[in-house]
Amino acid sequence: MTRMRRLVWSEADDRSRRDLLRRSAVPDPEVRVGAARICEDVRERGAAAVVEYADRFGGGFRRVGREELTEAVARTPVAVQEAIRASALTVEVYHRTQLPVDSITQPTPGVRIHRRWTPLDRVGCYVPGGKAAYPSTVVMTAVPARVAGVDEIVVASPAGPEGSVDPTLAAACAILDVDEVWAVGGAQAVAAMAYGAGDLTPVQKIVGPGNAWVTAAKLSVYGAVAIDLPAGPSEVLVMADETADPRLVAADLLCQAEHGPDSPAILVTDDPTLPDRVENAISTLLERLSRGDILDQALGKHGVVVLVDNRRTMIDIATRYAGEHVTVLTSDPERDAAEIGAAGSIYVGRWSPESAGDYATGANHVLPTGGLAAACGPLSIEDFGSWSQIQTLSEDGLRALLPTITTLAGAEGLDAHALAAAIRFERAQEER
């Protein structure tokens, strides 16, 4: 039977509590250093470096041709094609509600500030692949980019053992009319999109989830390009009380743990009888699942049951954990979900499985991990553009602000700042 580590919150010391709550999307410093080294090498040597790392770690490096993408659609069952289109439609509908609206304000007379949003020209979407393929991530990244008005959408995903991109993933790229698809993965893929490599020209921003190496690489290239958020290994926290069905708790823990052996799965409960019942349910459900070995590793190494005394503590832990996925299975899930202060995506009640959000509701499944949901949100339309402030002042408007400008410039010792405002009136005086 799979056993998850137990942590009795009232008896836990400060370090045990901190280890659970204070974490990182890239916890291993050696991964950060290694990813940064790969990115710098790709920056200096381009495609040659990408090919070397692809040969060493797998994943290939080639552009997937349009003919190959078209053939992938033909090989994909119609039901899967329809599911991709259905998912894309709900994602489009939801994300259209996020389209930014320009605004013009006049904070003082004679001063007009136009806040203008402009979509990016070229965006890179990293889509995990290799042992498992994620056409749903193509949907979650490419559809919002298209809704936002991005001109060129580039998808990079690791090739499988035979050097080809998963056919379902390739089909999704074709169905969604992705502009470029590259069979390349890992830190070298991130670096190639950031700096350019061969025929792969640089993008302005890189979005999408990945393993610790991909996440570390995104952090390494940040500055040369923009990134969405550090979305590392998937994680889940389930908050449940005595009313919860242990099978549903088990299923929701398994749902995200199957992404990989490094995926944390946390159960927080005030019912001391629930953990054993959940673990029994996990053992039964594992018999029905194909990724049993991965699930056993994830739950054995990164599964934790947190036993608490009351509802208030459950909510406090859920908020401080700031999980990527948080499921609420309590007697009043609406009330409890409303009180959780930080989470990437919250799933409320027995009819709200995490997989619904991963595939079908329209909400984005690219979410912050490692506790970053306390400060970052899900991937959204605004991630695919930038805001500008356009400031227009009249003569009277600047005159009214001149004392503020010159006084603060003088306080900071920046004479040129003061001069840039005052000289305009000197010029106007001369012209008169």
Residue 280: other Cβ atoms inside 10 A: 15
Q: How far apart are CA 184 and CA 61, in angstroms?
A: 5
Could you tell me which residues are beta bridge partners of residue 172? Answer: none
Task: Give yes or no for a contact between 119 and 89, defined as CB atoms under 8 angstroms apart.
Answer: no
Residue pointed to by tokens 């992705």: 178
Q: Which of 259, 302, 325, 365 is catalytic?
A: 325
Q: How far is CA 43 from CA 40, 118, 125, 197, 221, in A?
A: 5, 28, 19, 8, 10
The rounded distance, in Å, linking the Cα atoms of 159 and 208 is 17
User: How many Å apart are CA 155 and CA 375, to the nearest integer?
Assistant: 27
Residue 324 known to be catalytic = yes
Active site residue 152: no
Catalytic residue, candidates 180, 235, 279, 324: 324
**3 state DSSP class of 418:** helix
How far lies 144's CA from each of 138, 208, 366, in Å?
10, 12, 11
Residue 422, classified by CB atoms within 10 Å of its CB into exposed (0-12), middle (13-18) or buried (19+), is: middle
307 secondary structure, DSSP code: E
* Alpha-carbon dihedral sign for residues 273, 279, 284, 289: positive
> 46 and 198 in contact (C-beta within 8 Å)?
yes
β-pairing, 265-269 with 236-240?
parallel
Q: Which residues pair with 385 in a beta bridge?
A: 119
Centroid of chain to Cα 6: 29
Report helix, strand or coil for 182.
strand
| β-bridge pairing 236-240 and 325-329 | parallel
Strand order in the sheet with 385-393: 103-105, 111-119, 385-393
CA-CA distances (angstroms) from residue 293 to 32, 35, 132?
Answer: 27, 27, 14
Element containing residue 239 per DSSP (H, E): strand 236-240
Supply the Cα-derived Rg of the chain in whole angstroms.
25
Active site amino acids: 324-325
